Structure formats: structure tokens, C-alpha cells
Structure 1
């Protein structure tokens, strides 16, 4: 017998989400959005894990154990716990990870922490679904689809898991915004990736992205900020950003990585035919050096595979969608 079959939390999810109408659980004890929103600010700041209803949700007890390891001070244990958390997201087991998001955000903001970027990366992955391996114009920067239901392997409604994580990021936006100026470039990129998934505060976050882009000297961070701007604009249907990003990729005064990211963002923000001048620009700017520079960005890692870098795969799919792609776009990006 599978361990899930005897787990009370799993059985409750089956009764509530598989054997009955999931919407009947809205606002109740099995609504992860309510559970995350109900964590007191003092409990978040004090890392009071005992106040969180871990046992209501599948894998919740194990996620709490991972969170305890993050506080152990043992680097091997910390890395192992973060690996387990991001692995759950990769396996579409986000519901209990959503409960951890407020605490992971605080780990990410802790000065001197060696794994701040990784903690923020878990937050960002918990706030997205169905984006791994996706590199089409329609879906690359779309981290949610509220019109269609998605279910986790346990039967839990993944839409709610992702919404809970996105709400948690929005609630703690003021904690994360200063990280856009962190001395560590990996933290700056990870914080932008997390903030791009926030459910609210879009105007404040976009303003911060633009301010940081003007002052940013690291090419990879600049490229990441442009993708974050495009993703947030797509989620919040910001037409002004679509115009800005068009001007960005068409401006020869912008650095190559900025124009390349802007071109990707524009193609995801509109379904207009791709103009010839954009194709020409990408033929010139999307070089091996640009692809290598952008490869560590989480947006590019999510579309890459063992045999193809993320930028090349995105451009192949977006510029030549009818061409046969021998590099399967659904290959496991976590391998």
C-alpha cells in the first residue's frame, strides 16, 4: 500500500477534491490560500512553525521537517532541505510548499545567509505552474491559468497552491524589494523572479524593476529584470509595458542582452506577427555569447534541456513554430 493511502491529509484531499466538488472546500480548512493568509506576521518573523497547520495538507509534515533543517546551521542539511523543497515543486507537489513561502522569504532576506538565492528560487517555483519546458509565445511567461483547473498528484487543486504562494509574495513585497539591490547578483536575479509572480503590488514592483534596470551594471541581471518586467506585465495585462518593451528591443542604444530579453518579452506579450526587423535584430544579437550569458537565468533554465540552451529553444519555437523541433521542448529540465 502506498504511504499516501494511509495518510490522513491525503485521504482528506481525496474526499474533498477527488470524490466531491473542489469548490466546496473554498474558504475552509483545506483551502491553502486561507491557511497561508492566516499565518500571523509575528509567527512569520519569529519562525514559529508550530503555528502553521502543516498536518492538514499532503507532505506538510515533511515540509515542516525541511524548514526545521533550514534553521539548523548545518550547510549540508540546509542544501538538502532546499533541494527537497524545489523537488516537490518540480513534481507538482506545491501545496505544502506554499505554507513555507513566508518563512523562505525571510530566509532570503537574512543578511549573510549563504543560501538566500536558493530559498527565493523555491518561493518563485512554488508560485508558478506548468512553465517548465514551455517556450512558446503563448505560454513562456504565463505562470498561471485560472480558467483551467490543474491538480497535483495527491488530487489537490494546484491553482490554489500557486495562488497561495503568489498572495504570500505580494503580502511581503516590502521585504523582497530591497533585495533587487543586493550585492549578490544571484540574489538580485532570484528576487526579481519571485516578485514577477506576485499577485498584487504590480505597480510598485514594476517601478522598482525599472529603477533597478537603469542602475544595474551586471548584464545577466539586466536581462533578468527585462524578463521579470514582461512577465509581471503579462500577468496584470499592462499594455503600457508592451509599448515600452517594443521600444526597448528596437533601440540600438540598449545592450544586446537587454534587447534580446525585450524581444522575447514582446513576443510573449502580443500575438502580433513578428516583424522582419525583430528577426534581423535577433539574428545579430542572439549570439552564442548572449545565450551563454542568459543561460543561468531561471526563465532560460526552465526552457533548457540537456541538449539545448534556453535562448535557442525559445527562439526556435517562437520564430519558427511550424518547424520540426528535434529537441523535445518537454524534456525534463530538472534532470
Structure 2
């Protein structure tokens, strides 16, 4: 494999985004937002990978190869392919993964697919900037604004990679929304994680989240829906959800995992002091059992450590701001 320094795509990115003004690339061949927006619906539906200019972005050839392995039907090859894609996200190299999002969504909708939840989980990671273990009230569910620039390790403007992926999710929301009712709860959780980052269609998605929450039978999926509602509300500054989260947290009829997730959501949606009532709810219901139940949720996996659960770390950071962390966060994908 060629080193980055000798790779033409890497060199082009450095010239354009490191040595030059990134804004000069807006709408051009190196703007991944334009590439994803310009993909023909028939190309996405027909899995016409040859229509995507993978070679413009560092590691693009590996992404195309991973998608081909995912379609091969070989279980081992598919697992390796998913590892490649999630590894690129973990290593802050999303520019080439963003054009894969429409194809991953379609893999997630295939009724007989063996890796549907995993494909959708990769979508959920592509549409978020690297989390870096942040679990404070201000940052846990926050999406960076477009004027707050962040760069990938290759020098590519990460804001554009994430924006392209979020717009791809919004464009295919009608494919994803039915998956909130999928028989496989891991698919339902991964779908909520992806939809929570959509760049538009927020009202349709919020309505679907609330509707599903009324009938969702699995505790972890219920908790995930509440966190998804909070994250989408945070992205669109929906202050009505602050009131809803507080009411949900305070309602004794709600199951513990819903009340705890609503408390997390409330703390992330407002900077008001945490009231004693909410602290009491967490002291009663944020048990080790609830922490284990919520552990598979992507939001919790992003902040868990080798010795502490994601929920434990979140509550420590949110209820004791300024205190030492219980442990530095390991890379969840290492």
C-alpha cells in the first residue's frame, strides 16, 4: 500500500485544504457534499459503485472494496469490511466513507441481510464527528456548527464529510423510518442512532420516534429512542423537548431506563442547574442493572471505559462538573 505522502488523493487534499483555502473547493470535485448530493437515485438503488469518484478522497479505494465485500455474501469478508469502515471513522477519515452512506442504508434495509444493524451503525458513526469520549452536558449530544471548522487527519475538512453523510441520511429518511419497527431490536437501535443525525426532516423523524416509543417493547431500544429524541432536539434547538424530557423523567409510570435517559437528555438540552428531584430520580433508578441494559447503545459505547460503564461516566461528568474523570476514555473501536 502506498504511503499517504505518495497517494495522489492525499496530496490533492493537502494542496486544497491545508496549503489552500478550503472554501475555494466548495461545490467542486473535492467537495464530498456535492459528490453525495449528485449521486443518481438509480445508482444508489442499483449499487452502481463505479459511478462514485472514490479516488478523489484518501482511502476511497478501500471504501469501495469494503462495500463490494459487504455485497459478496461471504460472512467473513463482510465482517472485515465493516471493520475497515468503522476503523476509518474511528481514525477521523470520513471523507471517503460519506459517499458509502446511501449504500450502507440500502444494505440495512435488505430483509435477509446478515449485517443490517452493523451497516446502520457505521452510518451512525459516519454522521458524527469523532466523539473522543466527551460526555459533558454541553458536548455529549452536540453537533458542531458548520462555521466551527475541524479537520481530519488527512487534512480534509471534516465538517463537509459529516454534513454530506447527514444529508444522505435525510435524503433516505423514508427508507430508514420503517426500520424503527423492525423485528430486530439491534436494527431499531442503530436506525434511531442514524436518524438522530439527519440534516433535515426533523419533524417527521421526531414524530416517528415518539410514536415508536409508545409501543417499543425492549428496554434498551426505549432508552435509545429517548436519547435519539434528545439529540435531534439539540440539533434543531427544539426547546419544547426540554419540558418533555423533564416530564418524562418525573413520571413514575415510566420505566427506569426511560426516566434515566430522559434525565440525560434534559441535562444535555439545558444549562439550568440540575434540580434535586432529578438527582433523586437518578440516585434511585441509575442502577448497575440499568447501566448494563443501556451499555449496548452507541451513545454509551462511545464513552464507556475498561472499568466503568458509559452511564456511570456520563453521570459523573454531568453531576460533578470539574471533578476528576473516573477514568480516561479508551477508544471504543480499538
TM-score range, shorter chain: over 0.9
Per-residue deviation, residues 6-39 of structure 1 (Å, max 9, x unmatched): 1111111011001111011001110000001111
Match of 1:146 in 2: 146
Per-residue deviation, residues 70-100 of structure 1 (Å, max 9, x unmatched): 1111000001000110010000000000010
Q: 1:2 deviation in Å?
A: 6.5
Output the CA distance in 2 between the equivalents of 1:294 and 1:313: 13
Q: 1:271 deviation in Å?
A: 0.3
2:13 counterpart SS class: helix
1:15 aligns with 2:15: yes
Contact 2:90 2:130 in 1 (8 A): no
Match of 1:50 in 2: 50
Output the CA distance in 2 between the equivalents of 1:132 and 1:69: 29
1:66 counterpart SS class: helix
Contact 1:128 1:144 in 2 (8 A): no
Output the CA distance in 2 between the equivalents of 1:162 and 1:129: 7
Contact 1:137 1:267 in 2 (8 A): yes
- Structure 2: 5+ residue stretches without partners: none
Output the CA distance in 2 between the equivalents of 1:295 and 1:326: 17
Match of 2:69 in 1: 69
Match of 2:91 in 1: 91
1:96 counterpart SS class: coil
Output the CA distance in 2 between the equivalents of 1:28 and 1:256: 50
- Structure 1: 5+ residue stretches without partners: none
Contact 1:85 1:122 in 2 (8 A): yes
Match of 1:114 in 2: 114
Match of 2:31 in 1: 31
Q: 1:142 deviation in Å?
A: 1.0
Match of 2:333 in 1: 334
Contact 1:131 1:142 in 2 (8 A): no
Output the CA distance in 2 between the equivalents of 1:55 and 1:279: 52
- Cα RMSD between the aligned structures? 1.1
How does 1:150-299 map onto structure 2 within 5 Å? 150-299=150-299
Per-residue deviation, residues 39-68 of structure 1 (Å, max 9, x unmatched): 100000000000001011111111111111
Q: 1:301 deviation in Å?
A: 0.3
Contact 2:9 2:57 in 1 (8 A): yes
Task: Give the TM-score taking structure 1 as reference length.
Answer: 0.98
Contact 1:35 1:99 in 2 (8 A): yes
1:126 aligns with 2:126: yes
Contact 2:202 2:232 in 1 (8 A): yes
Contact 2:124 2:193 in 1 (8 A): yes
Contact 1:130 1:143 in 2 (8 A): no
Output the CA distance in 2 between the equivalents of 1:326 and 1:208: 36
Q: For the structure 1 residues 203 and 88, does the alpha-carbon distance in structure 2 shift closer, same or farther, using more than 3 Å as the test?
A: same
Q: 1:318 deviation in Å?
A: 0.2
2:331 counterpart SS class: coil
